[in-house]
Amino acid sequence: MNNFKQLGLSTPLLEVLESMGFTQPTPIQEKSIPHLLQSEGTDFIGLAQTGTGKTAAFGLPLIDLVDANSKATQALIMAPTRELGQQTAKQIVEFSSKYKSINVEVVYGGAAITNQIKALKKPTQIVVATPGRLLDLIRRRAISLKDVRYVVLDEADEMLNMGFKEDIDDILSNIQVEHSTWLFSATMPPEIKKITKKYMTDPFEVSVNTEQKTNIDITHQYVVTRSDDKVAALRRFLDLNADMKGIMFCRTKRETQQITDDLSNLGYDVEALHGDLSQAQRDAAMKRFKSRNMPLLVATDVAARGLDVNDLTHVFHHKLPDQIEAYTHRSGRTGRAGKKGISICFINSREGRKISEIEKTLKVTFEKVEVPAGKDLKAAKIESWTKKILKMPTDEKTAAIIEELKAELEELTKEDLLNKLLTEELKSLKKNDTSNLNVQESRSKSATVGSDGPQRFFINIGKNDGLSKTDLLQFIVDISGTKRSLVGDIALLDKHSFFDIDGSVAKGFESKFEGLELESGHPIRVNFEGNRNQERGRGGRKPRGKGGFGGNRNRSGGGGRGRSDRNRGGGSSRPRRRD
């Protein structure tokens, strides 16, 4: 198909698409839209990578299918983050501009719920929501589900990765009327399959380029430098690329804000985006980043979900993510719409093995690059400054001023004047340490614990064992005797977790957990991450997923201990030493 006219969309929608410059559907739109329009009442699964046009694939059919003359809420769209929800709602509003009776509302956490309740009292045919806020509104009876005919799970794999499975289950179980469920996702992990089996009936499935894990227009690079030198290395890339517009991804909110503050104090125009910012602050940061010639946004993975920023030239990874899928999501922010992009990872000398794993899994090739040297920065600065001078407009009104200045400057030659101006321009480079920030890497199969900054460790317990991040932190501190301040960057996953230990106390750290198991018989295993792959298969069974490390996760409080008991270390699976 070569245009939207053949997909079966209404004339008003086609007119809107034409006015917006959309002429040819993407593969996921081409496969999804005709089926969704013609198969009302059936369930649907659409698998496609991020950035392939999934919003239009479900948004356009919804606009044609909902009854604009009815005041009832007929469609629910669930999104993992407020940013993605806002972006989705904005697009659907734009698509439905010729349907004046269709109202779209977006609701999410971090904003006043009273305002959202007031907005939902107006006739609203389509609601876009994050799962947590939608569930809250359902419990407050602020939204009626009795007329819902379509439920869309957008970026379903991301919602599960972010811990929304229970919320999604609660929401779907609250919809008692007959409806269609449309699920869109980049991947189909086992948890997604469970949802499809439980809530969908014989779903029609389309799949587009699911094997293409990464964008071919992205150049993948890495630099090897010390942990403490990563911000200095980033500064050099910023100085080298005057026209950069990029995002640096960090793993923690604290790290994100610290890097932003450090760069801002050094005169760099950057913005931070993380969960500790209010919605107003996040909106303002994104507006400044999009509208101004700002080179860098520093963000956490969660905060950056759903960001729609055009023409990103670079993606930086302050630390590699724990899951390879997260690398795909990060790097996929650049290299869009046929434009080239660069993804640069900052790694320490022991993380070359991780680069090899990403290469093997995603079938990409990384290029090792050096942190720019002082002479390279100087040359780039001069070239950028020269181009800026040549492009500068002139103003006839300054002619009179120039005449007045001639007498004062007549002793200066043109070369003298250029020398003075260029010296002033290069002053900023003198503030930048010009020492060599590159170090030698090691891609050995058996990495060893060193003393260079935080060390990453793996532990084979997680959410399925009833843990929160606070529980895991307390457990690590209690067992190892390590100060809380030396434990950081905890990543809590379903069946296992990761955490950082300060390099000064990392040597022999895993031995402190030897012989430890839960009362259920589940052996606890801690490994330095560099050796984690080799250690798999040792240590017995996987976590059972119930009973819990620290107590029962039963929300109702019945049939087990509540959250307060879990935080005190209660429950049926407390750790003990094997005899």
Instruction: Delineate the domains of the chain, giving CATH numbers in brackets.
Output: 4-208 (3.40.50.300), 218-373 (3.40.50.300), 375-430 (no CATH), 455-577 (3.30.70.330)
This prediction's pTM: 0.56
Mean pLDDT (whole number) for 473-491: 89
Lowest mean per-residue pLDDT among 221-230, 377-386, 447-456: 447-456
**Which run of H or of E encompasses 18?**
helix 11-19
447: confidence class by pLDDT, cuts 50, 70, 90: very low
| Residue 433: per-residue pLDDT | 57
Mean pLDDT (whole number) for 431-440: 69
| Residue 431: per-residue pLDDT | 56
Instruction: Write phi, then psi, for 73 (nearest 5 degrees).
Output: -75, 120
542: confidence class by pLDDT, cuts 50, 70, 90: very low
Residues 6+ apart with CB under 8 A from 19: none
| Residue 279: per-residue pLDDT | 76
572: confidence class by pLDDT, cuts 50, 70, 90: very low
Q: State how far the Cα of 5 lies from the Cα of 22, in Å rounded to an integer.
A: 11
Question: How far lies 485's CA from each of 253, 488, 560, in Å?
Answer: 16, 7, 32
CA dihedral 71, 73, 74, 76 (to 10 degrees): 160
| Residue 209: per-residue pLDDT | 67
Structure tokens at 222: 């890495």
Please name every residue paired with 497 in a beta bridge, in sequence order, or none if there are none.
459, 492
Top-confidence residue, 207 or 39 = 207
Q: State how far the Cα of 393 lies from the Cα of 388, in Å rounded to an integer.
A: 10
Length of the chain: 579
Mean pLDDT (whole number) for 68-72: 93
Structure tokens at 40: 């009302």
Q: Could you count the other beta carbons within 10 Å of the beta carbon of residue 164?
A: 21
339: confidence class by pLDDT, cuts 50, 70, 90: confident
